[in-house]
């Protein structure tokens, strides 16, 4: 968008193509992200405005390369770090622990 009065994420009125009207079955990890966002807000770690700020501050490249819920994960993480719930070092350590469990850890059973 070349309008200098709008930030890159303000796409109101821009041509976006057809809107898919078929249903979307959310993956279990997407449902978990949604639940974590709700819990984080209920516990007072951030507000919807804080989540939105983190989403908008990601930059255009994130919106072009990440899915909706991938952006939510990043925004959730940013807000929880800012709130002091955990540090970047702590989440890095936990992510390594989880990675060591193997690729199938936490796979959803049908």
Q: Is this model's pTM higher than 0.85 or not?
A: no
CB neighbour list of residue 59: distance below 8 Å, 6 or more residues apart: 8
Per-residue confidence of the chain (110 residues) as pLDDT tens digits? 455 665 555 656 666 677 777 777 889 999 999 999 999 999 999 999 999 999 999 988 888 899 999 999 999 999 999 999 999 999 999 999 988 888 776 665 54
Tell whether 52 is covered by a domain.
yes
Domain annotation covers residue 12: no
Write down the pLDDT at residue 45: 96
Looking at the structure of the chain, the number of domains it has is 1
**Amino acid 80: pLDDT:** 97
Provide the residue range defining the domain that includes 92: 28-101
Task: Give kind and range of the element (H or E) at residue 72.
Answer: helix 68-82
Residue 72: CATH number of its domain: 1.10.472.20
Residue 109 located in a structural domain: no
Within 13 Å and on the Cβ side, how many CA atoms surround 97?
Answer: 6
């Amino acid at each position: 968008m070349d309008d200098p009065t709008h930030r890159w994420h303000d796409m109101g009125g821009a041509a976006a193509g057809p809107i898919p009207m078929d249903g979307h079955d959310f993956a279990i990890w997407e449902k978990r992200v949604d639940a974590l966002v709700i819990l984080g807000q209920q516990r007072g770690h951030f507000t919807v405005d804080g989540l939105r700020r983190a989403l908008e501050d990601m930059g255009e490249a994130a919106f072009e390369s990440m899915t909706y819920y991938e952006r939510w994960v990043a925004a959730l993480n940013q807000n929880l770090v800012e709130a002091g719930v955990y540090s970047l070092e702590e989440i890095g350590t936990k992510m390594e622990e989880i990675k060591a469990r193997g690729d199938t850890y936490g796979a959803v059973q049908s």
